[in-house]
Structure 1
């Protein structure tokens, strides 16, 4: 962010979150915050003073040294991350098995019911298709044979 697009509300939020030290702010907002604090010091004086007093109180608290065995027990008792699986979800076994079984049964039934055709039947079917589409003189032959 630059100094021209940081708002007063954002600077107040930074002061409340990170304290009075501008060096503790996020890197991309430090320069903008410094520029706005320099440009309008009276606007943020109360918030900066309150943050300074809180910073001093927090610095006065002694550092807590956690014993190594307590730290180890805490880490061991923490929930373990779930192991990553190769696939996130799996189909039940019966779905692919059912698909393969139905495909096999359909192919078997189709092959056992299919009839072979003779060349004469193929010629008759071809003449019928041509006559239906109007590409042959088959319909004229019918007219000639029709009783008058």
Structure 2
């Protein structure tokens, strides 16, 4: 018997879960996390693009408006935060063209959402008694989990 699950994620979680997802994606893509003391300094990059993150409907009340994660690579700084409306957002700063910055922001945001959903799904499947037997990641970053439930 086989089952295919297609997920459209709704991210409703505490900030630590989202922060962990950002950290994993940042490391995989060669970004480094910017220290709190450096974040306060104005970024020297010339352009800023705000990205609306697809498939993210809400962030839990446990995330304050002042919480953010900042990552940086090759003169591009990406900030993940909660905006005034309470929505998770991504801002990309750098000297590249707006279209390039927007593409970078969308790619990173989509991967953060994917990582978050992957973690939540794996945890929930484990809690329900399923074991991951095999995992595949396609070149387009699609992840396929093959799980099995042993016993009752």
TM-score range, shorter chain: under 0.3
- Of Structure 1 and Structure 2, the greater helix share is in 1
Structure scoring higher RCO (CA < 8 A, sep ≥ 6) equals: 2
TM-score by length of 1: 0.23
TM-score by length of 2: 0.23
